[in-house]
Structure formats: structure tokens, C-alpha cells
Chain A
């Protein structure tokens, strides 16, 4: 597996798995505006997945398509970070996960707009416009709920404590990231972390939430080494139709 292919899988698998997770809220959110916002966010993420996995399939050059990669790989071939696999939990956990991912996603996409690979830069330029709307909303909601009632504040602090150990993996550089940086395809994760910390720090301060004083990071998602038990369960639902009726189309 080439590093470039693996990097594209990371981008596409993050948006695919989070898009699927967020879509689980459709019809279940506390208010209709939030239902619509989450459904639209999921739609954007799935759309971005088509571009990333479409390019990944071309780069791999084995005749697979974006659909093949999404629907016919098993858990150990996925390269998404662990955070996006986390179950939705309550609405606060969903929005906290969304904000932390959006804040990372925004910096990553901004960096990728100047990628040495023109196709990557094109996809990033398209996606970053959508993600600006995602992060504006998720950040505002984290602030609104964090600096809200005693109960909403407590739930958001719990959500932050729960999600924080999953932040580190997004910025933990490995051989794939090192090669992407040296070839100019992707930005330096250490630089992204600086921008991320500034953004997240400001939002958490407004939200009256305390960032845990720990750098411990769960890892194993983006390397595919050790996904959480949740990924397999997502795939049983997401891939069910293609597994039960191989090649079905409409």
C-alpha cells in the first residue's frame, strides 16, 4: 500500500465514518433545525468521501471504485481516526466530537489547498468551504451548551473529558505523514496542532469548559492497527446491502 494511497484513505475514511455516524441522528435530534443541520453536515461529509475515495481508487490502480472501497473493505482496512467511530452518545457528545473533528479538518484542508498534488488541492479547496460552515455551527453549539444551564454545562464537560483522549491521534505523525510532508502533498501535523489548540482553546474558554490536563492519546485507527469495537458494528449496518446482495445497484 503506497503512502499516498493510505493518506487518501485516511481522508476519505474519516469523512465516511463520521458522515455515517452523524446520519444516525436523522429524525432523532431534539429540534428540527439541528436535525437539518446534522443531516446536511453528514451529506457534505459523504460527498467529500466520494472525492477522496474516488481519487484513492484511481491512485491504487486496481480497478476499484469509491463504492468498492467504502462498501467492500473490512474493518482492518479502514484508516479513519478512532474519534469518528465513537458512538453518538447524547447530543452534547455528538457536537463535541463534531467540533473537535471540524477544528482538525479545517486546518488540514486549509493546508491541503496548497498540496503539491493538484487533485488533492482541488478537493481540499472544494471541501474547505463546506467545513467552514460545519465548524462555525459546531463551535457555536459547544459554546451555547457549555455556557448554558448547569446540566448542559456538566454534560459538555463530560463530553470533552470523554473525547479529549482521541484528539492526539489526529496529530500523531507516522511514516505515512512524514512521507506526505516531505513530498509536499500534506501539511505538517505539528503546525496544524498549533492552530487547532488556539482555535479549540478559544472556543472552550467561551464555553466555560476545561480542557483536560492530559496528553494521553488512544491510537490505532489511522494505522489500521487497532480500531475500536464500534467500527465493525458501523460496517454491519453501512455495508449490509452490498454484502447481502453483492453488486446490487439502482
Chain B
């Protein structure tokens, strides 16, 4: 018997993002659809940034996770429209990001507070960071640099 769609979403929510393992691929908002096509599971995935090298690893991780759950045939469909936006990050994902030390994205274009000491006295170092989806900021109170998940 084929597992239900809700069950599969639940399993996908246990697949970590390879670059930011604190959050799942579902938290990240890149899984755009799950459907059965006969005995093949079709998962629609959208890339965060078009050149993000994690994209192919994510597809492989999803296929592996499905095989572990007994689903032998998974087809990953890359879908670029509508383009990914940080608005699709789940609330759970945002909270986990901050716990992990990455300030979550905000419409204002910058972090609300330092993910470590919670100070609001912040300074932007660069709009580009350790991965395409992050910017570098620093806290002017605890003096620690930190990643900010930038809006797109």
C-alpha cells in the first residue's frame, strides 16, 4: 500500500538541509508539491539560488530518505516558477535558525537582533556570506559576527 501524502510530507520534514542541518527541506520552503504518479512518487523542488550547489545534494537526500521508507521510485521535478522566496520559510524553521545562530530573514532587510546575545545594536559587514542565501552581520555589543539569512 502506498503511503499517504500527509505521511510523506512528514517524512520530508525530517530531511535536513545539507548546508543548514538545523532546518528541514520543508522548513526551507523548497518542497513545492508531492504527488503519486502510478507507483512513482513525484516531489517538486525549487532551488533557493539558481547556482546553489546544495540543490543536487538535496535531491539525492530526498530520494535516499524515500528509499529508506520503502518508496523505491522517486522522481524529483525541478520547478523554478514561482521563484523561491524567504517568505516560504516556516515559523518553525525561523525559530530553529535563530537557535542555530543564524538570524532569520525579515521584510525590513536586516536581522531583528543578534542570535547570540539578542542585542539590537548591529552592523552589516557584507550582503554576501558563507552561502548564497546568507549575509554577514556583526553584533556591536557581544562583538560576534553572525550569519543573516537574507531576503530574496
State whether B50 touches A48 (Cβ < 8 A): yes
Interface members, chain B 96-152 (any A CB < 8 Å): 125-130, 132, 136, 150, 152
Chain B contact residues: over half helix, strand or loop, or mixed?
Answer: loop
Decide yes or no whether B52 CB sits under 8 A from chain A: yes
State whether B128 touches A137 (Cβ < 8 A): yes
In the bound complex, residues from chain A placing their C-beta under 8 Å from that of B50 are 44, 47-48, 50-51, 126-127, 130
Decide yes or no whether A163 CB sits under 8 A from chain B: no
Interface string of B54-93 (1 = CB under 8 A from A): 0000000000000000000000000011111000000000
Chain B CB count within 10 A is highest, among A44, A48, A51, A126, for A126
How distant is A48 from chain B, measured CB to nearest CB, in Å? 5
Decide yes or no whether B4 CB sits under 8 A from chain A: no
**In the complex, how many residues of chain B place their beta carbon closer than 8 angstroms to a beta carbon of chain A?**
21
Cβ contact of A126, chosen from B81, B126, B127, B130, cutoff 8 A: B81
How distant is A121 from chain B, measured CB to nearest CB, in Å? 8
**In the complex, how many residues of chain A place their beta carbon closer than 8 angstroms to a beta carbon of chain B?**
24
How distant is B49 from chain A, measured CB to nearest CB, in Å? 6
In the bound complex, residues from chain A placing their C-beta under 8 Å from that of B83 are 122, 125-126, 129
Residue of A with least CB distance to B133: A40
Q: Using a CB–CB distance below 8 Å, which chain A residues touch chain B?
A: 33, 36-37, 40-41, 43-48, 50-51, 118, 122-123, 125-127, 129-130, 133, 136-137
A40-B132, A127-B50, A130-B49 are known contacts; what are 5 more A-B pairs with Cβ within 8 Å?
Answer: A36-B126, A43-B132, A44-B51, A50-B50, A123-B80
Q: Using a CB–CB distance below 8 Å, which chain B residues touch chain A?
A: 47, 49-53, 80-84, 125-130, 132, 136, 150, 152
